[in-house]
Amino acid sequence: MNYRHGYHAGNFADVVKHVALVAILQHLKKKDTAFAVIDSHAGRGTYDLTGEEAAKTGEARNGVARLMDLQGELPPALQAYLDLVRESGPTRYPGSPLLAARLLRPQDRLTAIEKHPEEFAALKDVLALYGNAVAEQDDGYARSLKLLPPPARRGLVVMDPPFEIADEFERLAAAVVAGSRKFATGIFLIWYPVKSQSAADAFIGEVLGGGVQKALTVDAQISAPEGKLDRAGLLVINPPYGFDETMYAAAEILTPILRADIAVKWRAGAE
């Protein structure tokens, strides 16, 4: 299965991931001091839900499309996420770098990294409208590590690789461990598909065994045809205060709408 962003834009996993992203950025904005966002595998920034990749899977229909008529009093992160998606129009879906760019204040900075030439070209055009956001074409793991710790000493690292290579979990775990050692106070938001529980457990265990003390996972699962993405997880290192309650509240609303099982769980690091 190809996990490149375009095939899965706006699906159930994107909804959960992006609500989490917005919740973290809202927390960082509570202080006036600047923060940095580093997105290691940024993709193209925005996606056409009627385009070839998205249309091939049709996953947005069972994801973000089910939320477009959602009204009423909602958790702030979920409301802000929906507002940002609606701003993009009915056939466009904003990826992580565009969501982040729209939420930044003048003092904050975003570095969005993308290796694939075509994806990078599109990303660069998307972020050209934002003076405090920059797109870089590079290896996401290597470049993000070079940027740590950011000058602001506050911020978020997003790692959302496409899982196109066999040893992606191993590379991701090594990058997360190295990154958290360089930026011990930073928040890390890591996405991964769950095709094998043992592989996911091994990845989480490797990260926690590497010295991470405070982490939380968000697991989302739906019923899908064989061969389709039906389960994905988030590993959040140094989740901000109240993040778990935010995700519990969002999950309570999203679970029946997305017809998903969403589990939020604290993880104990190595002593």
Q: What is the pLDDT of residues 40-71, one digit of tens each?
A: 999 999 999 987 777 677 788 999 999 999 98
Q: At 240, which CATH number?
A: 3.40.50.150
**Full residue range of the structural domain in which residue 47 is found:** 5-268
- The pLDDT assigned to 1 comes to 46
Mark whether 32 is an active-site residue. no
Please count the structural domains in the chain. 1
Q: In degrees to the nearest 10, what's the CA dihedral of 131, 11, 48, 46? A: 10
List beta partners, residue 190. Answer: 159, 235
Q: How far apart are CA 119 and CA 33, in angstroms?
A: 32
- The pLDDT assigned to 4 comes to 63
Distances (CA, A) of 44 to 76, 132, 233, 235, 260: 26, 17, 22, 23, 27
| Catalytic annotation, pick one of 39, 160, 219, 230 | 160
Residues 6+ apart with CB under 8 A from 110: 36, 37, 38, 39, 97, 100, 101, 104, 127, 130, 132, 133, 134
Which residue stretches of the chain have pLDDT < 70? 1-4, 55, 269-271
The model's pTM is: 0.95
For 12, the 3-state DSSP assignment is helix
Alpha helices in the chain (DSSP H): 5-8, 12-28, 52-57, 76-87, 96-103, 117-127, 140-146, 168-182, 197-209, 243-258
